């Protein structure tokens, strides 16, 4: 079985850091796995730790685009330490 996921986001340089240019109002966990290149387990673990903010809507977990940007910035800061 082949799963094709189309994510509409691109990476842009805003002068200080590379961030996603978002085309969606929210991202499901499946979207986040594609954008971040991480497995579902890692995404859920980061949500549980509070590193990646999320909310539940109709039984599914989502993250807002600003939460995704904050998470990427946090990962970048930690990698520079």
Give residue-wise pLDDT tens across range 10-47.
555 555 555 667 788 899 999 999 989 999 999 999 99
Tell me the C-alpha distance between 63 and 53, whole Å.
6
Specify the DSSP class assigned to residue 37: T
Q: Which of 14-23, 38-47, 53-62, 71-80 has the lowest mean pLDDT?
A: 14-23
Task: Give me the half-sphere count of Cα atoms (radius 13 Å) on the Cβ side of residue 51.
Answer: 14
Q: Record the pTM.
A: 0.74
Beta strand residue intervals within the chain, DSSP E: 9-13, 18-22, 27-28, 55-57, 60-63
pLDDT of residue 6: 43
Domain ranges of the chain: 25-79
């Amino acid at each position: 079985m082949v799963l094709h996921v189309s994510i509409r986001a691109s990476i842009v340089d805003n002068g200080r850091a590379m961030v996603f240019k978002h085309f969606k109002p929210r991202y499901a966990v499946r979207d986040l796995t594609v954008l971040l290149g991480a497995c579902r387990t890692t995404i859920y673990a980061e949500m549980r730790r509070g590193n990646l903010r999320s909310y539940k809507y109709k039984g599914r977990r989502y993250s807002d685009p600003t939460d995704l940007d904050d998470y990427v910035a946090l990962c970048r800061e930690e990698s520079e330490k």
